[in-house]
Amino acid sequence: MNNKSYIEIEKGVKFLCVNSDKFKTNCIKVDFYLPMSEHLAAQNVLASLMGHTSKKYNTFKSFNGRIESLYGADFDTSIATIGEKIRIRFSVEIPDDRFSLDGKSIAQETVDFLIEIIKNPHCENGEFDKEATDREIRFTLQNIEAEKNDKRAFAVSRLRQLMCQGEPYGIDREKLEQDVKNLDGKKLYDAYADMLKSSTIVITACGNLDGEMVKDKFSGFVNSIADRKPADLPTIFITKADKIRYFKDEMDVNQAKLVIGLRSGMENADDSYFPFRVMTDIFGGGPYSRLFLNVREKMSLCYYCGARLLREKGIIFIQSGIEEENYEKALSEILNQLDVMKKGEFTDEDFTSSITALSDAFKGVEDSPVAVCTFYSSQVFDDSLVSGQEYAEKIASVTREQIVECAKRVSVDSVYLLAGESGDNE
């Protein structure tokens, strides 16, 4: 599966088909990338609504019935932030055509279905159907409320807002919730029109597929969109924190949440990515990491503790669940372990365990059509595509010296504590 690359089939439209007959299923992902904008609330509702109804299939029953007719296709829509880009995704996994019982092409019918629901959503005269809009607004508000109830997710979201205030990445969840409440069918349609006209569209397919068929059908669909002008997709990288900022919220929680935001020092998503990936993994990745072995196991200062690198924004988030009385000790030891990384005092065993774990993980990223599509679509804005095996080799080539240099570039930006009300964790 080497020598692959996305091709631009139309302006602002990228396409990749990874052909393989070793799988029993095929996968197609259609992604719309947009800069963060005033349409964020509508985009959240839109991603859900377009996964449930369309003009042709305007009820749950008819929509799901069509999916079932595609041999029980696994269909999903979603929205995600990738750096400061919004990605609205339509994803489907289907049986390969050789399992068709009537000789028809499951893949071709599926592509037609995807284009149908994207091109002809459940709207009329520049407005989405009111009943469908109101229903999806309720669903979206329920999801926002569910995040509030998931204190671990809430703490990360809150730190992100505080740490990145003034940056598009610093989403204000309360404002987002209010904006969702103020939506109507017209605002939703405006966001939909913007998605078609302003997005970079990425089609990624894998399996025993006719790539030319997929490419031609989507090319024809894009050519039917009037006045397309894909927007730029910038992301702000802040390489160094001026000082450490401390934040605290109180809420009815059984377990305090400590979240720390670090500026990695990366200037863009490609800046020393592989050394930064290994450095973050040794610091707070798997059960072999410094944070897990020391803060959790050796010192028993937390219930969990780990670090994650957000490559597309150049940020490292450290998450920990603690007893509030252990806040100072836990914070001190986490920062001490960061100093261990900066001084290069991690052990050879730490280094080897991380290299082995990451290499093995990347070697397995092409084990299914869905995994292949997910893996390569994550690289769509890179200069070139790297296979799982090549990723593993790049990880294995990282040196201790590179890791230390990366660690020295890291600075602590924000520390956030979600504590019990009035200092009470009950």
Over the stretch 302-354, which tens digit does the pLDDT of each residue have? 999 999 999 999 999 999 999 999 999 999 999 999 999 999 999 999 999 99
Nearest to 20 by CA among 385, 366, 365, 393: 366
Nearest to 46 by CA among 197, 199, 194, 188: 188
245 φ, ψ to 5°? Answer: -110, 140
DSSP-derived secondary structure letter, 208: S
Residues 151, 294: Cα–Cα separation, whole Å: 24
Q: Is the pLDDT of residue 425 over 90?
A: no
How many alpha carbons fall within 13 Å on the CB side of residue 34?
26
- In this prediction, residue 424 carries a pLDDT of 44
Share of the chain above pLDDT 70, in %: 98
Residues 154, 168: Cα–Cα separation, whole Å: 18
> What is the signed CA dihedral for 44, 160, 256, 265, rounded to 10 degrees?
140
Strand partners, 316: 262, 309
At 24 the three-state DSSP class reads coil
Are the C-beta atoms of residues 33 and 199 closer than 8 Å to each other?
A: yes
Are the C-beta atoms of residues 97 and 106 closer than 8 Å to each other?
A: yes
- In this prediction, residue 383 carries a pLDDT of 87
Q: Is the pLDDT of residue 67 over 70?
A: yes
Over the stretch 110-160, which tens digit does the pLDDT of each residue have? 999 999 999 999 999 999 999 999 999 999 999 999 988 999 999 999 999
Nearest to 94 by CA among 84, 85, 104, 79: 104
271 φ, ψ to 5°? Answer: -70, 105
Residue type, 133: T
Q: Where are the beta strands (DSSP E) in 5-56?
A: 7-10, 13-19, 25-35
Nearest to 167 by CA among 258, 265, 234: 234
Residue in the structure block whose two tokens are 């001490």: 336
Residues 202, 373: Cα–Cα separation, whole Å: 11
Residue 62's alpha-carbon distances to 55, 57, 66, 279, 301, in angstroms, are 11, 5, 6, 50, 53
Q: 3-state SS string over 104-170?
A: CCHHHHHHHHHHHHHHCCCEECCEECHHHHHHHHHHHHHHHHHHHHCHHHHHHHHHHHHHCCCCCCC
Q: What's the mean pLDDT when you consider all of the chain? A: 95
Q: Which letter, b or e, does each residue of 274-297 get, where b requires 16 or more Cβ atoms within 10 Å of its Cβ?
A: bbbbbbbbbbbbeebbbbbebbbe
Are the C-beta atoms of residues 320 and 258 closer than 8 Å to each other?
A: yes
Q: Which residue has the higher pLDDT, 424 or 165?
A: 165
Strand partners, 91: 29, 76
At 392 the three-state DSSP class reads helix
pTM: 0.94
Chain centroid to CA 43: 15
- In this prediction, residue 3 carries a pLDDT of 61
221 φ, ψ to 5°? Answer: -60, -50
The number of residues in the chain equals: 426
Q: Is the pLDDT of residue 423 over 60?
A: no
Over the stretch 44-64, which tens digit does the pLDDT of each residue have? 999 999 999 999 999 999 999
Q: What angle do CA 32, 202, 196 make, to 5 degrees?
A: 35
Chain centroid to CA 419: 27
